[in-house]
Copies of this chain bind each other. A is one copy, B any other.
Amino acid sequence: MINRLAIIGVGLIGGSLALALKGKGAVNEVVGYSRSEDARQQALDLGIIDKAADSLAEAVSGADLVFVAVPMGAMNSVFEGIADYLSPEAIITDGGSAKAQVVAAAKQCLGEKFKQFVPGHPIAGTEKSGPSAAFPTLYEKHRIVLTPVSETDSAATAKVKAMWQLTGADVFEMNVEHHDTVLAATSHLPHVLAFNLVGMLAERNDCDEVLRYAAGGFRDFSRIASSDAVMWRDICLGNQDAILSLLEQYHQGIKQIEEAIRNQDGDYLIDVFSRAKKARDSRFADPNLIDNSEV
């Protein structure tokens, strides 16, 4: 049971956790803080938080659990802003999509309270953002990865794990570097690829007409290009090494496909396309999950 939960960032990620825990009766009071007064008011109006704090200090004072759910570029200043106001027993966790940068920022800012910081990443979300995008079932059947480091107190990790399990999520532990590579491959790189394609089409004079003929395949492929630009800027900058290394590998693959198209090497294309199809089908085998191809 959490007595006082502080949510820093009351958008999709923070708001959905608050709603889920409230729905389970697992929290007495939720205090929320956002730099945006509008977002704070909206979160209050939507019943996501019980009290809007006017400052980071006020938000975390007396909180036994603090969830930092801001774009990664703002993590450092949030840690700086809360460090002196945390209760001695407070546990801090976050929702950042790449962990090395967040862990470094927490270590630098939180001092001896760093051992009570449990780095986390809920692998859930939609392309929407803000308090109005939050909903209590966002995390149900989704994966939450915790990446405790050597300093992390195991009791703190257990408490954060139990909190996430209440939302209906499956909680896993992973080391920081492995997490950042896996997520670069399955999330960060796809986002970059989709942003780049849609950005390129947006520059065409005939963009509107071109997109008029885009069907279900394009719609699904490009959905992630509707994601929040600030959030994804921060992820790209925060997980720089893993993303750049995968982009290089990706480019090698594209070069070989280009060569095959240029040389009319159909066998090569069949080989790549078949392997991709097989891997994709084996991960998403349930037809109910993928039969969403209508425009």
Q: Which residues of A contact B (CB under 8 A)?
A: 73, 123-128, 141-143, 145, 182-183, 185-187, 189-204, 206-230, 232-234, 236-237, 240, 243-244, 247, 249-251, 253-254, 257-258, 260-262, 264, 266, 269-270, 272-284, 289-293, 295
Contact = CB atoms under 8 A, between A and B. Distances in A.
A232 B260 CA distance: 13
Given A217-B224, A262-B240, A290-B127, A269 B233 contact: yes
Given A201-B185, A270-B229, A284-B219, A207 B279 contact: yes
Contacts of A145: 213
B254 A195 contact: no
A273 B232 contact: yes
Nearest to A243: B261
B257 A202 contact: no
Contact of A214 (B186, B230, B269, B292): B186
Contacts of A212: 143, 283
A207 B278 CA distance: 12
A202 B272 CA distance: 10
Contact of A290 (B183, B219, B232, B258): B219
Please name the 6 residue pairs, one residue from A and one from B, whose CB atoms are nearest each other, closest first: A202-B279, A229-B273, A198-B276, A186-B214, A199-B276, A220-B220
A123 B273 contact: no
Contacts of A227: 217, 273, 277
B261 A237 contact: yes
26 contacts: A123-B215, A124-B216, A127-B290, A182-B209, A186-B210, A187-B215, A189-B197, A190-B221, A191-B217, A195-B277, A196-B250, A197-B276, A198-B280, A199-B273, A200-B250, A219-B290, A220-B292, A225-B273, A226-B277, A226-B281, A227-B273, A233-B270, A234-B266, A237-B264, A237-B266, A292-B292
